[in-house]
Amino acid sequence: MSRFLKRSLLAGFILIIFISLTYAEIIKGKVVGVSDGDTVTLLTEGNKPLKIRLAQIDAPEKKQDFGQKSKQSLSDLIYLKDVTVKVWDVDRYGRIVGQIFYNGLDVNLEQVRRGMAWVYFRYAKDPEYFKAMEIAKSKKIGIWSMPNPIPPWEFRKLNRNDNR
């Protein structure tokens, strides 16, 4: 199969997923994997695995301070639990960007409350998230217990530049 055909099929597949998600704003399933503090794998009711990127937040990278603690926090909240995802978008990597709820708890917001994620200023819309981050900062919870925490987007940029 030619490279062009493979790319065309992949692009078509992503488009189909995007279109179907646009009409199906809610997805239900079980969290079967936690990649880091803001990305999980969801096994849908149809036994289809989907990568879900938590909307409005950005958690520390795995190799960053609090990276493993953030991952553990998210795992403690929802690993092997049935959740509901309110779909916001599909990112450039084909992951669903969404807001995860478990028993009425906004899991994305809870990660911010626990000091395990930043509000992702570039994409956040809900003022509740900004308020939660300010409270976590003032109480020096999680990432805010460090003197000068580096936001993940800056950490990624620094590492990209170091690897050149």
Q: DSSP label at 163?
A: T
> For 110-134, how does the pLDDT look when each residue is reduced to its tens digit (9 = 90+)?
999 999 999 999 899 999 999 999 9
Give yes or no for residue 5 having a pLDDT over 90.
Answer: no
Catalytic residue chosen out of the listed positions 7, 61, 122, 134: 61
Class of domain 21-156: mainly beta
CB atoms within 10 A of CB 160: 9
Residue 128 annotated as catalytic: no
Catalytic site residue from 3, 25, 45, 95: 95
Predicted TM-score (pTM) of this structure: 0.83
The CB density around residue 31, as the number of other CB atoms within 10 Å, is: 23
Token reading at 18: 């995007």
Please tell me the predicted confidence (pLDDT) of residue 45: 85
Q: Domains of the chain: which residue ranges?
A: 21-156
- 95 assigned to active site: yes
Local confidence band at 50 (pLDDT 50, 70, 90 cut-offs): very high
Catalytic residue among 53, 110, 113, 114: 53
Q: Among this protein's residues, is 61 annotated catalytic?
A: yes
**In whole angstroms, what is the distance from residue 53 CA to residue 129 CA?**
16
User: Which helix (H) or strand (E) covers residue 82, if one does?
Assistant: strand 82-90
Q: What is the dihedral of CA 139, 115, 112, 152, to 10 degrees?
A: 130
Mean pLDDT of the chain, nearest integer: 90
Q: In this prediction, what percent of the chain has a pLDDT beyond 90?
A: 77
